Every structure is written in structure tokens, then in C-alpha cells.
């Protein structure tokens, strides 16, 4: 396992093989199988700094800006990312109980769900206007803009932030 120079390499082909593994060919003709795209800044800058890693988690190359890629490559990567990352984005908080463990009932971009928190500390502020919530199972929920939530949701969230 020799570390490869991450800079310089560019992907030219990305496709799924019959075993649902991702195959990548780089501009110098190398082929990699079972690669995975990983975002370095999934919250603060999701469209930049995307690493393509081998099955051991070693970085093969890095895409500085996803918009630099061809539409086809970009689609494949975004699809792959959306399948790998499971962080529902909360649009609306319907209710949350105050006693521990706190039980939440929310509407997300992936539908309605309920979850439990370990402690109030699991609701964290990210930057000035974002928040993340981790439930007892380690599933993470994101709130992309606290200000954009409706009043009732914000009031509930204020108790925890």
C-alpha cells in the first residue's frame, strides 16, 4: 500500500460494477475498484474538497470543486454520496419532551420520524445558524438554518441550544 500523490490525479471515469462497487479510472490510466467519495467538510462546504478513498480509507485523489467535473461524473459522485451519507435534514420539529431521555418528533427531508436523545448536550450549534442532533443510535440530524425554521420549531430548539 504505497501512498499515492493525491494532487494532480483526476478521475476520468466512474462507474458501478455488477457488485455495486464503484470503479474509478484516473487520467494516468490507473484503475481502482471499490472506491468511495468522502466529503471533508460535509457541513460547512459540501461542494468542495471531496476525497475519493480506496477501500482502506486511503485517499487516492481529491476533487477541490465538484463543479469542475463533467456532469456525468458529478452525478455519479453525488448519487454515491447521497447513498452513503445518512443525515436527515430537519425541516420542522413537531414536539420534543424535556425530561431525559428527550423524545423528538420531527419532519425531515426523508419523511417524518421520531428519535431519542442521550442528553441535551447532543444538540449542538454548528456555526452561527446550523445545528446538529445526534440520537441514541448515533444517527445524525441536521438543521441547515435555525432561522429558517418556523416559530414553534425554533422555540423547541431554543430550549436545547
Does 81 bind other proteins (CB under 8 A)? Our answer is: no
Cβ distance to other proteins smaller for residue 23 or 126:
126
Q: Are 139 and 86 in contact (CB under 8 A)?
A: yes
Q: Min. distance of Cβ 50 from other proteins in angstroms?
A: 10
By C-alpha distance, which of 15, 144, 6, 8 is closest to 75?
A: 15
Question: What would the x/- binding string for other proteins be over residues 89 to 128, using CB under 8 A?
Answer: --------------------------------x--x-x--
> How far is Cα 142 from Cα 75, in angstroms, rounded to an integer?
23
Write the burial class of residue 60 (CB in 10 Å: 0-12 exposed, 13-18 middle, 19+ buried).
Answer: buried
Among 64, 65, 129, 150, binds other proteins (CB under 8 A): 64
Does 40 bind other proteins (CB under 8 A)? Our answer is: yes
> All 3 cell numbers of residue 52?
475519493
Does 38 bind other proteins (CB under 8 A)? Our answer is: yes
Total site size for other proteins, rule CB under 8 A:
23
Among 28, 41, 97, 112, binds other proteins (CB under 8 A): 41
Q: What is the b/e burial string over 15-48, where b = at least 16 CB atoms within 10 angstroms of the residue's CB?
A: eeeeeeebebebeeeeebeebbbbbeeeeeeeeb
Stretch that binds other proteins, among 36-44, 74-82, 96-104, 148-156 (CB under 8 A): 36-44
Among 49, 91, 101, 107, binds other proteins (CB under 8 A): 49
3-state secondary structure of 95: strand
Beta-carbon contacts of 76 under 8 Å, excluding residues fewer than 6 positions away, are: 14, 15, 16, 22
Residues interacting with other proteins, by CB under 8 A? Answer: 6, 38-45, 48-49, 51, 53, 57-59, 62, 64, 121, 124, 126, 132, 140
Amino acid at each position: 500500500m504505497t501512498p499515492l500523490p493525491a494532487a494532480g490525479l483526476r478521475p476520468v471515469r466512474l462507474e458501478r460494477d455488477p457488485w455495486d462497487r464503484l470503479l474509478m479510472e484516473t487520467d494516468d490510466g490507473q484503475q481502482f475498484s471499490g472506491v468511495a467519495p468522502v466529503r471533508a467538510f460535509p457541513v460547512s462546504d459540501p461542494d468542495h474538497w471531496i476525497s475519493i478513498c480506496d477501500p482502506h480509507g486511503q485517499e487516492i485523489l481529491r476533487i477541490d470543486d465538484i463543479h469542475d467535473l463533467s456532469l456525468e461524473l458529478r452525478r455519479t459522485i453525488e448519487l454515491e454520496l447521497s447513498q452513503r451519507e445518512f443525515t436527515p435534514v430537519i425541516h420542522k420539529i413537531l414536539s420534543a419532551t424535556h425530561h431525559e431521555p428527550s423524545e423528538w418528533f420531527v419532519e425531515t427531508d426523508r419523511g417524518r420520524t421520531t428519535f431519542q436523545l442521550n442528553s441535551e448536550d447532543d444538540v449542538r450549534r454548528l456555526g452561527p445558524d446550523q445545528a446538529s442532533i445526534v440520537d441514541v443510535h448515533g444517527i445524525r440530524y441536521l438543521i441547515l438554518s435555525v432561522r429558517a425554521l418556523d416559530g414553534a420549531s425554533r422555540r423547541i430548539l431554543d430550549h436545547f441550544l
